[in-house]
Amino acid sequence: MWRRIRALVIKEFLAVWRDKRSRFVLIGPPLIQLVVFSYAATFDIKDAAMAVLDRDGGPEAQRLIDDFGNSGAFQITRHLRAGHEIKAVIDAKDVSVVMVIPENFSRRLKGGSAGVEAGRPAVIQFISDGRMSNSAQVLAGYATRILERHNAEWLKRHGGRPVPAAVVVTRWFNPNLDSQWFIVLGLVAVLTLVVVLIVVALSVARERELGTFDQLLVTPMRPIEVMIGKTLPGLVIGLGEATLIFAVAVLWFEIPFLGSVALLYGALVVYLLAVIGIGLMISSLVRTQQQAILGAFLFIVPAIILSGFASPVENMPDWVQWLTHANPIRYFLIIVRGIFLKGLPANLVLGQLWPMALIALVNLGLAAWLFRRRLY
């Protein structure tokens, strides 16, 4: 069995490598897109989930919280009780930002109006998730503008010094908000998806178009062996493509790698299996290479839009957010950015890995069913 599968795998690699267009698709476009998107892509954000740690508890602190909640830029979804909860909610991506109001907030405001502690405003800490670099920068600007309005209203009511309160921004995991860290790591998922999906989708379609698929049917190979033989080349190509981008990310863009290599590649294999399952389904349904390419791009465009690569999933309508749960890119983006930038632990990786594994099982199962149905 394995000798037959190995022969089919070798045949697939030779078919891809001998075709000049296939070689170009594997090497040229990914590198060009990696460079162009890394330098040219920009993102906007319209709102974000916020957690609040109110250590003051006074009416002035509550008024500030209300100002943020009613601003339209933030949605206050969590009220924390202790500082150790901050790491948990940011690590799990439950919120994008955490606002910490210190114990002396009301006292500083009152002191400012009475001339006590002159020049020392009440300080608000604003902790953002630096893994989403552009979002963190935009949200820091929102926070500053909201606080400026709050200060203006406070001065109308009380008078006193020009700056009753100030915000101090802390960015976790990407202190300098280098947007290339965000973009390049996202391109690992996007470019790997494009290359692997097209290669796998073309595999059976190319056989049918050249007339060699009928020859394959008369060999002793069973449908499951043919399917494994079509899967392994895509898996190897995807691993090589991702490894190339990882190397560019670390060596050229100098993105720090803080996590586990084993966790990263384990998640990558599961992600590739999910993508290969989609490619095999497309390949089983079409008859020509042109149809295969159209089918692949029919999936690629909405998959990237609904992945959280270009805009946060949290900004999408609720019914669209439900659709993203069937998208493997959504989970892999969280994993690759988390492992690279903050050394995401295994328990949090598993929380994103099991939905992706379920998607892979469903996709490969459907692909196997379609494959058998088209063979007989």
How far is C-alpha 220 from the chain's CA centre? 43
Task: Tell me what pLDDT residue 118 has.
Answer: 46
Is the domain of 52 the same as that of 144? Answer: yes
Q: 295, 286 in Cβ contact below 8 A? A: yes
Among 134, 150, 172, give the residue marking a domain's end.
172
Task: Tell me what pLDDT residue 367 has.
Answer: 84
Each residue of 77-112: b (16+ CB within 10 Å) or e? beebeeeeebeebbbebebbbbbbbbeebbbbbbbb
How would you list the strands of the sheet with 165-172, edge to edge? 74-80, 48-54, 97-101, 122-129, 165-172
Is the domain of 69 the same as that of 146? Answer: yes
User: For the segment 319-329, what is each residue's pLDDT rounded down to a tens digit?
Assistant: 778 888 899 99
Task: Tell me what pLDDT residue 358 has.
Answer: 94
Among 123, 148, 172, give the residue marking a domain's end.
172
Q: 168: which strand partners?
A: 125
Measured between alpha carbons, how far is 6 from 232 in angstroms, rounded to an integer? 9
Domain count, the chain: 2
Measured between alpha carbons, how far is 1 from 94 in angstroms, rounded to an integer? 47
Is the domain of 31 the same as that of 108? Answer: no
Task: Tell me what pLDDT residue 280 has.
Answer: 87
Is the domain of 223 the same as that of 257? Answer: yes
Strands 97-101, 122-129: pairing is antiparallel
DSSP code, position 126: E
Is the domain of 185 the same as that of 240? Answer: yes
In this prediction, the residues of the chain whose per-residue pLDDT falls under 50 are 36, 39-42, 44, 112-119
Is the domain of 214 the same as that of 252? Answer: yes
Quick one: tokens of 53? 């740690």
Quick one: tokens of 133? 């670099």
Is the domain of 242 the same as that of 311? Answer: yes
Measured between alpha carbons, how far is 163 from 41 in angstroms, rounded to an integer? 36
Task: Tell me what pLDDT residue 42 has.
Answer: 42
Is the domain of 103 the same as that of 158? Answer: yes
Is the domain of 185 the same as that of 295? Answer: yes
Containing H/E element for 262?
helix 261-285
Is the domain of 187 the same as that of 209? Answer: yes
Task: Tell me what pLDDT residue 167 has.
Answer: 67
Q: pTM above the 0.75 mark?
A: no
Among 117, 137, 172, give the residue marking a domain's end.
172
Is the domain of 354 the same as that of 222? Answer: yes
Give the CA angle between residues 140, 143, 149 to the nearest 5°: 145
Q: 204, 283 in Cβ contact below 8 A? A: yes
Measured between alpha carbons, how far is 277 from 368 in angstroms, rounded to an integer? 9
CATH of the domain at 125: 3.40.1710.10
DSSP code, position 312: -
Is the domain of 199 the same as that of 337? Answer: yes
Query: Domain range holding 92?
Result: 48-172
